[in-house]
Amino acid sequence: MQDEPTPSELIKAVADFLRDQIAPQLSGHAAFKLRVGINALDLVTRQLTLTQASDAAEIEGLRALLNKDGALLDLNSELADLIARGEMDLSTPGLKDHIWRTTLAKLAVDQPNYASYRRELEGK
Protein backbone atom coordinates (compact mmCIF):
# COMPACT_ATOMS: atom_id res chain seq x y z
CA MET A 1 0.00 0.00 0.00
CA GLN A 2 1.32 3.39 -0.96
CA ASP A 3 0.98 5.97 1.79
CA GLU A 4 1.82 9.21 0.07
CA PRO A 5 1.04 10.84 -2.19
CA THR A 6 -2.56 9.64 -2.27
CA PRO A 7 -4.34 9.17 -5.60
CA SER A 8 -6.37 12.31 -4.99
CA GLU A 9 -3.20 14.30 -4.24
CA LEU A 10 -1.59 13.06 -7.45
CA ILE A 11 -4.63 13.88 -9.56
CA LYS A 12 -4.92 17.32 -7.98
CA ALA A 13 -1.24 18.01 -8.65
CA VAL A 14 -1.63 17.12 -12.32
CA ALA A 15 -4.77 19.26 -12.64
CA ASP A 16 -3.05 22.20 -10.94
CA PHE A 17 -0.02 21.85 -13.22
CA LEU A 18 -2.19 21.78 -16.33
CA ARG A 19 -4.28 24.71 -15.09
CA ASP A 20 -1.35 26.88 -13.97
CA GLN A 21 1.44 25.99 -16.40
CA ILE A 22 -0.09 24.65 -19.60
CA ALA A 23 -3.49 26.35 -19.94
CA PRO A 24 -2.04 29.89 -20.20
CA GLN A 25 -0.05 28.75 -23.24
CA LEU A 26 -3.08 27.49 -25.18
CA SER A 27 -5.99 29.15 -26.91
CA GLY A 28 -9.00 28.23 -28.96
CA HIS A 29 -10.21 24.66 -29.19
CA ALA A 30 -7.06 23.21 -27.59
CA ALA A 31 -7.61 25.41 -24.52
CA PHE A 32 -11.24 24.31 -24.38
CA LYS A 33 -10.28 20.62 -24.55
CA LEU A 34 -7.69 21.15 -21.82
CA ARG A 35 -10.31 22.80 -19.56
CA VAL A 36 -12.60 19.80 -20.12
CA GLY A 37 -9.75 17.48 -19.09
CA ILE A 38 -8.92 19.58 -16.02
CA ASN A 39 -12.59 19.58 -15.01
CA ALA A 40 -12.64 15.79 -15.29
CA LEU A 41 -9.56 15.51 -13.08
CA ASP A 42 -11.12 17.88 -10.54
CA LEU A 43 -14.30 15.77 -10.54
CA VAL A 44 -12.35 12.55 -9.94
CA THR A 45 -10.49 14.23 -7.07
CA ARG A 46 -13.79 15.23 -5.46
CA GLN A 47 -15.17 11.72 -5.99
CA LEU A 48 -12.15 10.21 -4.26
CA THR A 49 -12.31 12.60 -1.31
CA LEU A 50 -16.05 13.06 -0.77
CA THR A 51 -18.10 10.08 -1.90
CA GLN A 52 -17.17 7.63 0.84
CA ALA A 53 -18.59 9.92 3.53
CA SER A 54 -21.59 11.01 1.47
CA ASP A 55 -22.43 7.41 0.53
CA ALA A 56 -22.23 6.43 4.20
CA ALA A 57 -24.59 9.26 5.15
CA GLU A 58 -26.95 8.37 2.33
CA ILE A 59 -27.14 4.72 3.30
CA GLU A 60 -27.71 5.68 6.95
CA GLY A 61 -30.61 7.90 5.86
CA LEU A 62 -32.07 5.17 3.67
CA ARG A 63 -31.83 2.61 6.46
CA ALA A 64 -33.68 4.96 8.79
CA LEU A 65 -36.37 5.73 6.21
CA LEU A 66 -36.92 2.14 5.13
CA ASN A 67 -36.24 0.56 8.51
CA LYS A 68 -34.06 -2.10 6.95
CA ASP A 69 -30.48 -2.85 6.01
CA GLY A 70 -29.11 -3.34 2.53
CA ALA A 71 -26.77 -2.08 -0.14
CA LEU A 72 -26.97 1.55 -1.26
CA LEU A 73 -28.17 0.72 -4.76
CA ASP A 74 -30.82 -1.70 -3.50
CA LEU A 75 -32.13 0.71 -0.85
CA ASN A 76 -32.29 3.55 -3.38
CA SER A 77 -34.17 1.31 -5.79
CA GLU A 78 -36.65 0.35 -3.08
CA LEU A 79 -37.17 3.99 -2.10
CA ALA A 80 -37.79 4.92 -5.74
CA ASP A 81 -40.35 2.10 -6.05
CA LEU A 82 -42.15 3.22 -2.89
CA ILE A 83 -42.32 6.79 -4.18
CA ALA A 84 -43.49 5.63 -7.62
CA ARG A 85 -46.28 3.57 -6.01
CA GLY A 86 -47.32 6.53 -3.87
CA GLU A 87 -46.46 4.73 -0.64
CA MET A 88 -43.98 7.48 0.29
CA ASP A 89 -44.02 11.16 -0.55
CA LEU A 90 -42.68 14.44 0.78
CA SER A 91 -45.07 14.20 3.73
CA THR A 92 -43.26 11.02 4.85
CA PRO A 93 -41.23 11.96 7.94
CA GLY A 94 -37.58 12.35 7.06
CA LEU A 95 -37.92 11.85 3.30
CA LYS A 96 -37.67 15.49 2.24
CA ASP A 97 -34.62 16.03 4.47
CA HIS A 98 -32.96 12.85 3.17
CA ILE A 99 -33.49 13.85 -0.45
CA TRP A 100 -32.19 17.38 0.21
CA ARG A 101 -29.06 16.21 2.06
CA THR A 102 -28.35 13.61 -0.62
CA THR A 103 -28.78 16.18 -3.39
CA LEU A 104 -26.40 18.61 -1.69
CA ALA A 105 -23.82 15.86 -1.20
CA LYS A 106 -24.02 14.93 -4.89
CA LEU A 107 -23.68 18.58 -5.92
CA ALA A 108 -20.57 18.89 -3.74
CA VAL A 109 -18.96 16.28 -5.96
CA ASP A 110 -20.47 17.06 -9.34
CA GLN A 111 -21.04 20.84 -9.39
CA PRO A 112 -19.54 22.54 -6.31
CA ASN A 113 -19.53 25.92 -8.07
CA TYR A 114 -23.21 25.75 -9.05
CA ALA A 115 -24.66 29.10 -7.96
CA SER A 116 -27.74 27.71 -6.17
CA TYR A 117 -25.60 25.18 -4.34
CA ARG A 118 -23.19 27.92 -3.20
CA ARG A 119 -26.11 30.08 -1.99
CA GLU A 120 -27.51 27.17 -0.01
CA LEU A 121 -24.16 26.58 1.67
CA GLU A 122 -23.77 30.26 2.51
CA GLY A 123 -27.26 30.31 4.02
CA LYS A 124 -26.35 27.67 6.60
Per-residue pLDDT tens over the stretch 45-96: 999 999 999 999 999 999 999 999 999 999 999 999 999 999 999 999 999 9
Q: Is residue 80 part of a domain?
A: yes
Stronger pLDDT, 120 or 81, i.e. the higher one = 81
User: Mean pLDDT throughout 20-47?
Assistant: 97
pLDDT value of residue 90:
96
Task: Give 43-47's long-range contacts (Cβ < 8 A, gap of 24+).
Answer: 43/109, 43/110, 44/11, 45/8, 45/11, 45/12, 45/15, 46/108, 46/109, 46/110, 46/112, 47/109
Q: Is residue 91 part of a domain?
A: yes
- Name the domain count of the chain: 1
Q: Is residue 28 part of a domain?
A: yes
Q: Is residue 2 part of a domain?
A: no
Is the entire prediction scored with pTM above 0.75?
Answer: yes
Q: Is residue 1 part of a domain?
A: no
